[in-house]
Structure 1
Amino acid sequence: MIGLLFASPLFAQSLGKQVTKQQLVTYTYNNTLAFRPKWALTTEIQERRFRNPDEQHQFQISSRLYYSLGKSWGASVGFAYLLQSPQDPHATDDLVVPELRPYVQFDYRQRIGRLSIGHRYMIEKRFFRNTAYGELAKGYNTNYRFRYRLGLEYHIANINNLPLQVKASEEIHVNAGKSILYNRFNQNRIYVGLNYALHKNINIEAGYLYWFQQRVTGNQFFSRDIISLMIFHKINLNKKEDADPADIKK
């Protein structure tokens, strides 16, 4: 897989690496408002929590404006606001750190019979609120992050005339910027899930995400097993159906 190809040289240099294993669950609501031909606004709300003990890990809300470029290509500009809780569910420190994240995204989709192959390219500018002595401080530190995701979707069957699909994806994240010293490789995410349409405009999805992340020290890593539960909701304001809804989902 692509993550192994990118990450192996980086892992080899981190002698004595320390891996922290964690279990989490993520709840996501994704709403797409198709308001004009070729245009759509997608808003997503996500709550990520540790399991045993049940503690918040991260809250995120993001919106992006999508435009269909034609020939299976799409482009988006977006902005995300995140609240990052301590990375350790047992931490006595309860400081929550905000992050601001504008981004640009390009999508390309290929269809081969029942199989859909998706490519997502994303560039993020990340602004992390400064902290000092266990409290929030003025200003932000910043860096760039480049992401590529390869995704597969296979139409298994129709149930009550609505599609059931299996999904699989892998995504690599790479950091860039003056503040990045030891963790150019940021993380690798591998996902598999089932997606079912309850209604032509409402899909539910359950899946498993494996998330391997390098920390700023370079020799410390997070290995995360995450249960993912999602609702996709599309509202179409156009008189005519536009592009395939799959082309404007996250």
Structure 2
Amino acid sequence: MKILKVLFLMLQSGILLSQITKNVRNEPAIWGGYISSIKVSDRISVWNDLHYVPESFFIYRTGLSWHFTPQVVGTAGYAFLNAAPRVDGLLARSEHRPWGQLVFNFKIGEAAQFNHRIRYDYRIRQSVFAGEIHNHSWTAYHRLRFMSSLRFPLVGRSLGDYKPFFSVNNEILFNFGKNIVWNYFDQNRSWINLGYQLPYATVQFGYMLRWVQGQTPGDVTNYHTALLWITHVIDTRKAKTDKKPENELLHREP
């Protein structure tokens, strides 16, 4: 019963947004992602991820992570993004994005794993006027992101290697800064995944509803998105252990 209550609360915001907005457009989408962690010491790892959503965006993100405890990890880094609109068939709007995050993870009951992430993006984006990109004009603002994720096993009583799992997730994204006039609420992402965990990798596929604020008030797009994400941990430490760090594969989400 506790798990069902958490599932309901995490998905509720996305459902409510879909009901109260006007001028809603619905679009299909596909999201492919690769997220990796390269362990260089017991405390330090290198974060890298690549994501591609055709007709929407491509992003490469990198950063340095510090593992305060098995339950708390902080990361800071830089990302580069190309986004719509397209020019000559390519995603053409560039964005530079310094970023940082804190991830907290802990168990709920005997089986479930709950993760909460707070991420900050400083977005430096090429300006777009009337659908045209202005190469020498840039807009900068801030964004805060709050993600919650609940993962639990489909087989057995605990998460682990060679076991399938199910996850339900929600992320709310807020804009702020002097260049933000009305669109403080950027978007909401709600998704469910089925996954399979290997000793140093997981594979997940699922469905995401991305509620995205448009350029004018009341203009909203719902992206009904099919997901395929691969998470990979690479251990480069000289003194490797037979067991991977606790929860290393559990908090790696885009």
- The TM-score range, normalised by the shorter chain, is 0.7 to 0.9
Q: Any conservation in 1 of the 2:126–2:133 contact (CA below 8 Å)?
A: no
Instruction: Tell whether the 8 Å contact from 1:38 to 1:243 is kept in structure 2 after alignment.
Output: no
Identity %: 18
> What SS is found at the alignment partner of 2:178?
coil
Q: Structure 1 residues 34 and 210, CA, compared in 2 at 3 Å: closer, same or farther?
A: same
- C-alpha distance in 2 between matches for 1:179 and 1:215: 16
Structure 2 SS opposite 1:36? coil
Give the RMSD, CA atoms, in angstroms. 2.9
Distance in 1 separating the partners of 2:250 and 2:99: 18
Q: Which residue of 2 aligns with 1:100?
A: 96
- Alpha-carbon offset, residue 230 of structure 1: 1.2
Aligned counterpart, 1:52 = none
Deviations 1:9-51 (A, max 9, x none): 9x86x7xx311111000111122111110211121111102xx
Matched with 1:33 is 38
Contact 1:202 1:232 in 2 (8 A): yes
Contact 1:3 1:172 in 2 (8 A): no
Instruction: For structure 2, list consecutive stretches of 5 or more residues without a partner in the other structure.
Output: 1-8
* TM superposition shift of 1:163: 1.9
- In structure 1, the partner of 2:6 is none
* In structure 1, distance between residues paired with 2:89 and 2:24: 21
Per the normalisation by structure 1, the TM-score is: 0.84
TM-score by length of 2: 0.83
User: Corresponding residue for 1:193?
Assistant: 193
**Deviation at residue 166 of structure 1 after TM alignment:** 0.5
Corresponding residue of 2:60: 61
Residue number in structure 2 paired with 1:126: 123
CA distance in 2, matches of 1:237, 1:24: 36
* Structure 2 residue aligned with 1:164: 164
Q: Counterpart of 2:174? A: 174
Deviation of 1:213 after TM superposition, in Å, equals 1.4
1:20 aligns with 2:25: yes
User: Could you tell me whether the CA contact under 8 Å between 1:189 and 1:211 is conserved in 2?
Assistant: yes
Secondary structure class of the residue paired with 2:40: strand
Do the aligned partners of residues 93 and 29 (structure 1) sit closer, same or farther apart at CA in structure 2, a change above 3 Å counting? closer
Q: Which moved more, 1:152-161 or 1:117-126?
A: 152-161
